[in-house]
Amino acid sequence: MQHLRSPAHQIASRLRNTALRRTHVLVASQQRQQNGDTDGSFKVLHLMRHGVTEMNDYLAVNRYDAPDFVDPLKYDTVLTARGRASAQAAASVAERLSPPPELLLVSPLTRALQTAHLAFMPHYRGPVMVEPLARERVWHASDIGSSREQLQQAFPDGRFPLNTLPDVWWYCVKPEDPRAVGLEPEALFRARIAALRRLLAARPERSIALVAHWGVLHELTGGVEFANCEIRSFAMETRRAEVAAAGARQEGAGGSAEGGQKRCDGVTDCGDGGEGGEVEVMIRELRLEEQREQAAAVVG
């Protein structure tokens, strides 16, 4: 979705809730470290939202929740001149990220690829992943993607590995018509972002940059608001705990049909860790002193 801000009282409420969630997870994480019950798996996520798009500009003057709203059908919307300039300007920030990313992961929507190309490719020389799990929730035609062949034509320099990308990798309300526009169900979207969170946790890299979307980053972090081209750094920690009771997996205990996963809170997922018990994945904004420590650890 191309985010349009809500009324002021809704924003204030959302920010209060976000602050509470982030404070709760930070305290919980510190307590676990003091108790020695983390498994030592800690990595840094540098998260970036794409630049301003044609759809962003349209939504700035046409509220998506207005009764007379008309989708302009800007399929796979692209960056505006302002969006491209902002992404280019963000390259100086991306180049100084600490610790430097060991992997660049990008949504396959064109606006994210354009942003990553302008903000990272002038200086980044590491591996790149184009990951459909990081695509935006489908709200409008702007969130319907382009085929692999179309993307290869749009980005011919080969910096983005697109060969394994399916031709249709976005949510389809009508499988027989991939261009049909329909709202992606919230449950499917949240399950997908939970899968993205677990994918990031499972990667061997200790520092990862992700270029994605407002809705994706908001859900991934438990409610953090990102402006266009904003880059913020987060800590991702995993903890392995013994399964406390069989009832925790029973229907009605917060479980879902998606691989037995359950939603623990706004920024935490619990997944099946096999014989070692459950794996808890937490994401919180990185403190400056932690950023320095992790930079030294990665370099060391």
For residue 41, the model assigns a pLDDT of 79
279's enclosing H/E stretch is strand 278-285
Residue type, 118: L
Could you tell me how many residues make up the chain?
300
Give the C-alpha separation, 167 to 239, whole Å.
36
Q: What is the pTM of this model?
A: 0.77
Write the pLDDT tens digit of every residue in 129-180.
Answer: 999 999 999 999 999 999 999 999 999 999 999 999 999 999 999 999 999 9
How do the domains of the chain map onto residue ranges? 8-299
Give the C-alpha separation, 113 to 120, whole Å.
10
Give the C-alpha separation, 17 to 14, whole Å.
5
Is the CB of residue 222 less than 8 Å from the CB of residue 267? yes
Is the CB of residue 235 less than 8 Å from the CB of residue 22? no
Give the C-alpha separation, 274 to 295, whole Å.
31
Mean per-residue pLDDT, 4-21: 41
CATH value of 8-299 in 2.40.40.20, 1.10.286.10, 3.40.50.1240, 3.20.20.110: 3.40.50.1240
Write the pLDDT tens digit of every residue in 187-235.
Answer: 999 999 999 999 999 999 999 999 999 999 999 999 999 999 999 999 9
pLDDT band at 11 (very low <50, low <70, confident <90, very high): very low
Q: Which of 252, 249, 251, 240 is nearest to 278 (CA)?
A: 240
Write the pLDDT tens digit of every residue in 275-291.
Answer: 444 668 889 998 766 66
For residue 18, the model assigns a pLDDT of 40
Write the pLDDT tens digit of every residue in 62-112.
Answer: 998 999 999 999 999 999 999 999 999 999 999 999 999 999 999 999 999
| Contacts (Cβ under 8 Å, ≥6 apart) of 91 | 118, 119, 120, 122, 123
Say whether pLDDT at 294 is over 50.
yes
Say whether pLDDT at 30 is over 80.
no
| 166 three-state secondary structure | coil
Write the pLDDT tens digit of every residue in 235-252.
Answer: 999 876 543 333 333 333
What's the chain's average pLDDT? Answer: 80
For residue 182, the model assigns a pLDDT of 96
Say whether pLDDT at 125 is over 90.
yes
Where are the alpha helices (H) located in the chain, listed in sequence order?
8-35, 54-61, 81-95, 110-119, 148-154, 186-202, 214-221, 288-299
